[in-house]
Structure formats: C-alpha cells, structure tokens
Amino acid sequence: MSAAAESPLKQLWGEFAASKLALVGLALLVSVVMIAVFAPLISPQNPYDLAQLDVMSGKLAPGEQAMSGKTHLLGTDDQGRDMLSGIFYGLRISLGVGVVSTVIALVIGLFFGLIAAYFGGWVDTLIMRIVDIQLSFPAILIALILLALLGQGADKIVIALITVQWAYYARTVRASALVEKQKEYIEAAQVLALSKARILFRHMLPNCLPPLIVVATVQVAHAISLEATLSFLGLGLPITEPSLGLLISNGFTYLMSGKYWISFYPGLALLITIVAINLVADQLRDVLNPRLKK
C-alpha cells in the first residue's frame, strides 16, 4: 500500500505512468485528439470546400507541388483534395462517431445492467437473455444487418454502433453491480428507506464504474474500427464528409495503379488512433483491476 497522504487520483496516475508503453500511447492519443479538435485551424486546406479543390491537381504524389504552388505533404486524392487536411478532418468524424456512440451505448448499457442486477428475477432473465443472444453474433454482422435494414447515413451508423455495443456494458455493469449489491452500504441505504432510483444511481453506480471505464476505452477503439470497416464496405457515412474509412475506401480504387498514398496514409492515421487507445486501455485495465493489486 502506498502512502495514505497521496490522493487516489495521483496514486492512479503514478501506477499508470509506470509503463513507458502506456505513456507513449497516451501521448499519441492526446496528439490525435488535439488534431481532431483543432483540425480547422491546422489543416492546410478545408477539404469540404469545393471551391478550394482543384481536379487538375488531383492524385499528386506526396510532396508534389500543385499548379497553385502549394506543396501537398501527403499528396492529393482524385478530386485534388489535400490528403493531410482530409485525414485531419476524417479523424474528427471517426473519433466523433466513435465517442458519441460509445457514450450513448454506455448510458443505455449502464441503465439496463443496473436494473437487471438490482431487481433480479424475470427482469434480469429477460435483459440478460437478450444480451446473451446478441453477443453470440459478431459485432460486424449485427452492424451489417442493421445497416442493410436502416439504409445509410451518419445517424444510422451511430444507431448501429450503439446497438452493437450496449450489451457489453450491460453485462459488465451487471456483474459488478451484483457484487456491490451484497455489500453493507447498500443494505444501510435500504434500511434508511432511500428511493430505489437513489440507491441505484447515487450509491451503486459510482462503485460500478472502474471496470466500465476499461471496457469503454476498448470499445471506443472497436467502434472507430467498425465504423471505418462499414464505411470501407460502402455502408457507412456519406462521401460528402468522409471519415477515415471512407478516405481509405476512396483510395482503394487507385491502389492498383500504384497511387498508394490516397489509401495508405488515412489507414496509418486510423491505425495509430486504434493502437494508441488500446495501449492506454491495456494499462488502465491493469491499474483499475483490484485483483492485480499486490
């Protein structure tokens, strides 16, 4: 046990920073998020502004100069869109879709998981049966079925990503809530005749959060990867505001003629994002898991 004087947050950080690899991951993740947030300020070009695009300077190789005299560090795509700017804006959309869908799915999963654990009986059975059935199919298949049914669009893809994810949270929360339910402070709260909602959300919920944070971190990476995959298959976001997956898909056509950069660099950005999140999540899992504490 470390010194009692240390605040829990500081202690957590100390444990997290013990792994150099996790720190690298965190640094990468922070950079990626910063790029996504400040994309309009740091991009050489607004990739959605058609007036700024010049088809004449399409498919330029990385480092080549366009007719306008601008140098495109990572080249341009078929419409003369600067790849670096495209990637910065694409990151915004990929991260945005990933985070939004994860947060909504987390809230839904949290709600049903807590209810299942607290009430038990047929409520528990019903919710967990649905979770079981859903988790017996791969996420990609469920998402594909949904998109085949719903059609395309940003809202549809978020719905698909939420549907795919909520079951993981419900299961995780239920497991930790079942443990918490047995503890004395819940009994004490019940004896005080506090309302069920208060016990559930003010007392139980905060204590179920740590494992959930780990699952959520991993799930953001999954959601981003899944969105990219769906967009790559042509079932994701519309072409007007391309995410990384769509940029990759768009470049795939030109891959065979040796114009690798249109696909490769967005792919690299996607990869860095996913690996960075996974590195952070891996370390978080170790830090937040009480079973691994000595």
| Contact residue for another protein among 125, 190, 195, 253 (CB under 8 A) | 125
Instruction: Give yes or no for a contact between 86 and 76, defined as CB atoms under 8 angstroms apart.
Output: no
The answer to the question of residue 149 lying near another protein (CB under 8 A) is yes
Q: Which residue, 14 or 120, has its beta carbon nearer to another protein?
A: 120
**Shortest Å, Cβ 284 to another protein:** 15
- Cα angle for residues 114, 120, 121 (degrees, 5° grid): 150
CB atoms within 10 A of CB 288: 18
> Cα-flanking dihedrals φ and ψ of residue 82, to 5°?
-65, 125
Residues ≥6 apart with Cβ < 8 Å to 112:
127, 166, 170
The answer to the question of residue 129 lying near another protein (CB under 8 A) is yes
Report how far apart the first and last C-alpha atoms of the chain are (Å, whole number). 8
**Shortest Å, Cβ 60 to another protein:** 18
The answer to the question of residue 159 lying near another protein (CB under 8 A) is no
Q: Which residue, 116 or 189, has its beta carbon nearer to another protein?
A: 116
Subset of residues 202 to 221 that bind another protein, contact rule: CB under 8 A? 221
Candidate segments 56-64, 105-113, 133-141, 285-293, binder of another protein by CB under 8 A:
133-141
Residues ≥6 apart with Cβ < 8 Å to 87:
74, 244, 247, 265, 266, 269
47 dihedral zone (left: phi>0; alpha: psi -120 to 50; beta): alpha
The conformation of residue 60, written as its DSSP 8-state character, comes to P
The answer to the question of residue 225 lying near another protein (CB under 8 A) is yes
CB-hemisphere CA count at 13 Å for 289?
Answer: 10
Q: Which residue, 197 or 256, has its beta carbon nearer to another protein?
A: 256
The answer to the question of residue 258 lying near another protein (CB under 8 A) is yes
The answer to the question of residue 153 lying near another protein (CB under 8 A) is no
**CA-based Rg of the chain, rounded to a whole angstrom?**
23
- DSSP letters spanning 85-150: HHHHHHHHHHHHHHHHHHHHHHHHHHHHHHHHHHH-HHHHHHHHHHHHHHHTS-HHHHHHHHHHHH
**Shortest Å, Cβ 260 to another protein:** 5
The answer to the question of residue 147 lying near another protein (CB under 8 A) is yes
**Shortest Å, Cβ 264 to another protein:** 7
Rounded to 10°, the helix 205-232/139-150 angle is 70
The site that binds another protein (CB under 8 A) totals a number of residues, namely 42
Candidate segments 50-58, 88-96, 205-213, 251-259, binder of another protein by CB under 8 A:
251-259
Candidate segments 47-55, 149-157, 186-194, 209-217, binder of another protein by CB under 8 A:
149-157
- Which amino acid is present at 208? C
The answer to the question of residue 104 lying near another protein (CB under 8 A) is no
The answer to the question of residue 30 lying near another protein (CB under 8 A) is no
| Contact residue for another protein among 88, 89, 168, 232 (CB under 8 A) | 232
| Contact residue for another protein among 66, 104, 140, 205 (CB under 8 A) | 140
What residues pair up with 158 in beta bridges, in sequence order?
none
What residues pair up with 82 in beta bridges, in sequence order?
76
Binding residues for another protein (CB under 8 A): 124-125, 128-129, 132-133, 136-138, 140-141, 144-151, 221, 225, 228-229, 232-235, 248, 252, 255-256, 258, 260, 263-264, 267, 270-271, 274-275, 278, 282
